[in-house]
Amino acid sequence: MAAVITKQVLAGIRLVNGGLALTVPNVVGGRLGVSTTTSPGLGYAFRLFGVRTVLIGIQLWRTPAVAGNRVIHETILIHGADTAAALIVYTMGELPRKGARLAVGISAVNTALAVLLNWQVRRTPS
């Protein structure tokens, strides 16, 4: 049961963040300290991120929380890569510090949830 809750929380975060990036990229940009008004290409990039994130969230929401599930196993890679990308942006100063810290924090929480989810499904008897 714990794995199901963790899976739903992780999927929910994906659906909310992706939905916001897809529908109101200016809000996401504002939270990261960048403007889609002065850099309109950012709106496009946020929408692309949003589509990807929503699709991953839906896929995760719908998949069973069982050991050996490819979708659940891949969450560590996906969220780990997101965290690495956020850390690179932070260290290179490509976002304002506050926005970069927010991106790292959200990505790191998602990675921790992915690791927890994988641990939970491996410990759950079939």
Q: What is the pLDDT along the chain (126 residues), one digit of tens a residue?
A: 899 999 999 999 999 999 999 999 999 999 999 998 888 899 999 999 999 999 999 999 999 999 899 999 999 999 999 999 999 999 999 999 999 999 999 999 999 999 999 999 999 876
Tell me the C-alpha to C-alpha distance, in Å, between residue 100 and each of 3, 5, 38, 51, 72.
30, 28, 19, 21, 27
pLDDT for 72 equals 94
Question: Could you give the CA distance from residue 91 to residue 102 in angstroms, rounded to a whole number?
Answer: 13
Residues 6 or more apart whose CB falls under 8 angstroms from that of 113 comprise 6, 9, 10, 13, 79
Six token digits for residue 27: 């809000």
CB contact at 8 A, 43 and 36 = yes
Classify burial at 100, counting beta carbons within 10 Å of its beta carbon; exposed 0-12, middle 13-18, buried 19 or more: buried
pLDDT for 39 equals 86
pLDDT for 126 equals 63
